[in-house]
Each structure stands twice: as C-alpha cells, then as structure tokens.
C-alpha cells in the first residue's frame, strides 16, 4: 500500500506512472456496467444474496465454463466470492488450522501470510528461481513440503 500511495502522489505531481501495486484497473467502470448496477439498485437488488451467490449467476458461470472446457459443470459446485481475498479467506479457513504449514509463492500479495496466520497456520514462503522469472515450479513446492504442509 506504501507503493500505491507513492504512485498516486507521483502521478498527481504530473509524473507518468504505471501503477502495478494495488491491483486496480486504470480505467473507469464501463458505462453499461455502471448502468446495470444502478438498475439493480432501482429494481430492489439491495438485499443479502444466498451465501454461494445468486443461482442465476452460478448457472451463467457454469454455462461459460462448459463452453470454455467442453464439459458439463454443475452450478451447485460453484461459489461466488466478492474478490480474490474473500475467496482465499474462505478457502484458508476451510482447509487450514493450528499446526499446518501453508506454502505461499513469493513474491506474494501482502495480505496472504496474514490470512494464513489468522487461521493459526504458519506461512512458508517458496521463491521461484530468478532465471524462470521468479515463477514457482513444482520442484520448488516439493522441496518445501513437510509433514505439516
């Protein structure tokens, strides 16, 4: 977040900055999406949704996945989250707990280790080799695995 703040400050000073820090797009929400959101509010779509997401959305996701992967997808197996961190939080709290080690590819987003710690598990950082663009390879993961992973 320090980098994001610095990038905004430099940009406000007239510097040409490409901000790759916070994961936000550098463009406004497209008009048709804004209008659909407004219409949803006007239509009363302001209440809690089912925990797994709106059934119509889950069905649409299933149809899209079916087209993309040429196989049947059951919408009951789809859960909609409000973002990557929300999905990771849910998965971490479902899968890990005290005494577990969780491998995290490094570099990583700043909140990933904290999500693991909140679940009372231990983050273990796995760094990919520089010559492979810091991508973590299966061998890197294998080398970091213990009986607690």
Domain count of the chain?
A: 3
Per-residue pLDDT 10s for the chain (149 aa) are: 788 889 889 989 999 988 878 777 778 999 999 999 999 999 999 999 999 999 999 999 999 999 999 999 999 999 999 888 899 999 999 999 999 999 999 988 889 999 999 999 999 999 988 888 889 999 999 999 999 99
3-state secondary structure the chain: CHHHHHHHHHHHCCCCCCCCCCCCCCCCCCHHHHHHHHHHHHCCCCCCCCCCCCHHHHHHHHHHHHHHHCCCCCHHHCCCCCCHHHHHHHHHHHHCCCCCEEEEEECCCCCHHHHHHHCCCEEEEEECCHHHCCCCCHHHHHHHCCCCC
Which residue range(s) make up the domain with 38? 1-47
Taking the model in full, what pTM does it have? Answer: 0.66
| Same structural domain, 39 and 60 | no
| Same structural domain, 12 and 41 | yes
| Same structural domain, 33 and 15 | yes
| Same structural domain, 138 and 120 | yes
| Same structural domain, 61 and 102 | no
| Same structural domain, 106 and 95 | yes
| Same structural domain, 86 and 110 | yes
């Amino acid at each position: 977040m320090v980098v994001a703040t610095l990038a905004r400050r430099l940009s406000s000073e007239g510097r040409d900055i490409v901000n790759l820090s916070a994961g936000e797009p550098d463009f406004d929400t497209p008009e048709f999406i804004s209008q659909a959101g407004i219409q949803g509010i006007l239509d009363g779509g302001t209440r809690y949704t089912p925990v797994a997401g709106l059934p119509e959305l889950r069905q649409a996701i299933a149809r899209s996945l079916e087209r993309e992967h040429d196989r049947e997808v059951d919408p009951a197996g789809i859960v909609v989250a409000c973002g990557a961190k929300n999905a990771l939080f849910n998965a971490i709290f479902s899968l890990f707990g005290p005494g577990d080690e969780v491998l995290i590819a490094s570099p990583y987003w700043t909140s990933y280790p904290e999500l693991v710690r909140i679940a009372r598990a231990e983050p273990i950082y796995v760094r990919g080799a520089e010559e492979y663009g810091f991508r973590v390879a299966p061998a890197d993961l294998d080398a970091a695995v213990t009986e607690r992973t």
